[in-house]
Amino acid sequence: MSFTRYEKYKGSGVEWLGEVPEHWEVKRIGYFFEERREKVSDKDYPPLSVTKNGVVPQLESAAKTDDGDNRKRVCKGDFVINSRSDRKGSSGAASLDGSVSLINIVLKTRGAVRIDYVHHLFRSFSFQEEFYRFGKGIVADLWSTNYSEMCNITMAIPPVSEQHAIAEFLDNETMKIDMLLEEQEKLINLIREKRQAVISHTVTNGLDPTAPMKDSGIEWLGEVPEHWGVVPLKTVISTIESGTSVNAIDTPALQGELGVLKLSCVYNGRFDPSENKTVLPEEVERVSCSLRAGCLVVSRGNTPDLVGSAGLVKEDHEGIFLSDLLWQVHCTNVEAAFAHYWTLTRAYRWQIHLACTGTSSSMQKITKGKFRQFVFLQPPLLEQEDVVKFLDTETDKLDRLVNQAERAIELLKERRSALISAAVTGKIDVRGLAAEGVTA
């Protein structure tokens, strides 16, 4: 549905607000808030994390420091916002007492301001842009906004009853949108699970459900087509080339420059040559092993869930080279695309799990020796081609469904953001709609 506008508007005097309803109060943030600067210890005030989902009990993944006695106090009903531009969107109204790191600004309201309304206003895209525009820093992509700057931002506040109506409306509508987002995320996970299951079943069982089967002799592999070979991976590998560790700038190489691949060049079974870093001029002589079409790029070291990830290189890349944590695997007597699909099966991932070494939970590695000993299923070449054609078609269908769901998520997020910004800046009149449960 379309929303109505207020009857009368006035100029706010600032670009990010534009025109606002005539009866709204336009003043600087410092008029409605004051900064809470009390220093406390996390021993007395439980540590909180300021995230894009709001203010929550400290996350396990949060970076821990030795400054537990040097934190800012937060009281229930305060608003907390991370001052750094690389944490844009990390803010929210606190529902708990506790403490946060000094990088955050803690605000307590004064006067007729409802924190549930402020929660939506200060987390809106338009305000976030204005907030970080007031910041200062020494680099273009990282700066901080202090309270002394924030307090000078102009904001528009409706009467208290109207703040409540807007907050209640946005609570209801964003909850509905969030439920739709969750459904789309679940759909994507289901499609990806199906994709993985189709690949695993086809590569280990073939396309003919009536084909005679045999015991592979391997407990975790089970039965396989009787006429397929069960061989060590080394029998279908001609060479495994290693990359080199070189100094590079973390921006993709331009034409005429040399690039060294990042680990992220292989992800979700795909190879992306644009995921590279520009090799420094003094390091150019040290790069080795440019990419050739028909090979597999395999990550020999990565996090436990990503080590062993592989992607198929479909064309030559003269100016792109391997890093030291990547291999270029050349196959023989086997379709490279079939070998690539093999790396996407549960059987392959299980072997990676068994072969990994490393004491760090953030970095695991596999050796060439163990990799060569992996079990590989080898159908006749013509059958490999049929499997590849079938899987290319089936995975393309499933990938298109994922793309559609991801696009739906983008549109939902855009609508959510636009709805919040429109409501908190008075571009739409939602008074009375919250009680009716109207869906936009």
Same-domain status, 243 and 354: yes
Last residue in a domain, options 132, 157, 182: 157
CA distances from 107 to 84, 91, 113, 235 (A): 16, 11, 12, 66
Query: In degrees rounded to 5, what are phi and psi of residue 221?
Result: -100, -35
Residue 77 resides in a domain: yes
Task: State yes or no: pLDDT of 362 exceeds 90.
Answer: no
Distance CA 355, CA 340 (A): 19
List, in sequence order, every residue forming a beta bridge with 92; answer none if it has no partner.
80
The CATH number covering residue 241 comes to: 3.90.220.20
Residue 58 resides in a domain: yes
Last residue in a domain, options 372, 397, 419: 372
Residue 358 resides in a domain: yes
Token pair 């970095």: residue: 363
Report which of 124, 131, 137 is spatially closest to residue 167, judged by C-alpha positions: 124
pLDDT band at 363 (very low <50, low <70, confident <90, very high): confident
For the chain, what percent of residues have pLDDT higher than 90?
A: 77
Task: State yes or no: pLDDT of 149 exceeds 50.
Answer: yes
Same-domain status, 335 and 256: yes
Structural domain total, the chain: 2
Last residue in a domain, options 101, 126, 157: 157
Residue 11 resides in a domain: no
pLDDT in tens, 7-51: 999 999 999 999 999 999 999 999 999 999 999 998 999 999 999
Domain that holds residue 135: 25-157
Same-domain status, 270 and 349: yes
Q: Where are the alpha helices (DSSP H) in 253-380?
A: 336-342, 346-355, 368-372
Distance CA 103, CA 57 (A): 17
Residue 150 resides in a domain: yes
pLDDT in tens, 229-281: 999 999 999 999 998 889 899 899 988 899 999 999 999 899 999 999 999 98
Same-domain status, 151 and 232: no
pLDDT band at 86 (very low <50, low <70, confident <90, very high): confident
CA distances from 291 to 141, 210, 260, 321, 332 (A): 33, 40, 11, 6, 17
- Contact by Cβ (8 Å): 325, 263: yes
Same-domain status, 259 and 358: yes
Residue 245 resides in a domain: yes
Write out the two tokens for 430: 């939602």
Task: State yes or no: pLDDT of 176 exceeds 70.
Answer: yes
Residue 382 resides in a domain: no
Residue 5 resides in a domain: no
Same-domain status, 152 and 231: no
pLDDT in tens, 391-408: 999 999 999 999 999 999
pLDDT for position 440: 45
